[in-house]
Amino acid sequence: MLVMENNSAPNQQPIPVSQPPHHFSKTFIILIVVFLIMAVGIGGYVLGANRNQIAQTQPVTQIPQPSPAPIDETANWKTYINDEYEISFKYPPSFVIENTSKPPQFFFSLKSTEEELVFSVEPSNTPSFASRLKSLNTIVKNNISWKVYPESTYCDAGDCSTTSASYETTKGEWRYAFLLRKISPNSDIFEQILSTFQFSP
């Protein structure tokens, strides 16, 4: 008995093909990227706003600037000292002292090429010429009170003349006066002279 060889291949099951792992779709990835960008942007905005709010609420500390030292314009001036009458004051180097007299009525002129004033010392119990005039006001310079007599016209027995402005102060038995002959009462120089006038301690 012949046995016929069956060459037909047996029924074979299809071999399953392994599927690649599941990947996110491109749309999903784009959405995640957009979300991350928005999150970073919002976070940055909130952080910046908080910093600005903190900066605005913190008080600004002002560092005090040192004020410049005042300039002493009389530093290089000459100094007049009189031990007998216990006074001193400064005057500009362009001024010279002339016509010094002796007691009981002591006076001298302070002159420059364009300006002149007279300083005098008299006993305080004798009336001064300026005392016949009406005092305009009183000023204080270097803690010393001065009576101010303005320029005015003075007449005596029909003889009239213009008087210069003058400044007077009294201490003890002496009266001290400045007569402004060729200098304005508003002159910076005269104001500075008065500001340096002092009595000896």
Residue 105 has pLDDT above 80, yes or no: no
Pseudo-torsion of CA 136, 87, 71, 78, nearest 10°? 110
Give me the amino acid identity at 186: N
Query: Tell me, what's the pLDDT at 78?
Result: 95
* Structural domain contains residue 34: no
Query: Tell me, what's the pLDDT at 60?
Result: 67
Residue 38 has pLDDT above 60, yes or no: yes
* Structural domain contains residue 23: no
* CATH number of the domain that residue 87 is part of: 3.40.1000.10
* Structural domain contains residue 185: yes
* Structural domain contains residue 125: yes
Distance between CA 188 and CA 161 in Å, rounded? 27
Domain count, the chain: 1
* Structural domain contains residue 184: yes
pLDDT band at 133 (very low <50, low <70, confident <90, very high): low
Chain centroid offset of residue 161 CA:
46
Residue 35 has pLDDT above 90, yes or no: no
Residues contacting residue 164 through CB under 8 Å, at least 6 positions apart: 151, 179, 180, 181
pLDDT band at 151 (very low <50, low <70, confident <90, very high): confident
* Structural domain contains residue 74: no
pTM: 0.61
Domain that residue 118 falls in:
82-199
* Structural domain contains residue 19: no
* Structural domain contains residue 24: no
- Assign 47 to helix, strand or coil: helix
